[in-house]
Amino acid sequence: KRISQLKDVILIAPVIEIEDETIGTFQAIASKRITVGKTCKLSYPSALVLFQDNKNNPDEVSTNPMDNKIFIDTKSVVKGSICYFQTKTKPDFQTQIV
């Protein structure tokens, strides 16, 4: 069984996948998607931030249904901030936090 414990870490990547049962305090900043596995415990001041910069290509559509989303699986607890930002000027009314 793999166990991850992170404290005071800043993760920056296009795609961030937090595996099941991860425990820690960290900031995750992504441009495509963030996935939090089952039974994770992210303590304050953790942050999940998805920044979708599509100002230069506003009609770009991804074929992956999980792109442009923050997904938090069952029994996971996030004590901190969950933020979604986009530069698109035309709203698409899609769900970004699942």
CA atoms within 13 A on the CB side of 35: 11
Q: How far apart are CA 60 and CA 90, in angstroms?
A: 12
> Pick from 32, 56, 34: which is nearest to 47 by CA?
34
Parse the chain into domains and list their residue ranges. Answer: 5-86
Q: Tell me the residue ranges of DSSP E strands in 5-90.
A: 5-18, 23-36, 41-52, 69-72, 77-86
Which pLDDT score, from 0 to 100, does residue 62 have? 56
0.75 surpassed by pTM = yes
Alpha carbon of residue 98 to chain centroid? 10
According to DSSP, residue 97 is labeled B
24 has pLDDT over 80: yes
Cβ neighbour number for residue 94 with a 10 Å cutoff: 7
**Tens digit of each residue's pLDDT (9 = 90 or more) over 42-92:** 999 999 999 987 655 555 555 565 667 899 999 999 999 999 988 766 666
- pLDDT-based confidence at 96, cuts 50/70/90? low
Contact in structure between 56 and 39 (CB atoms under 8 Å):
no
Which pLDDT score, from 0 to 100, does residue 91 have? 66
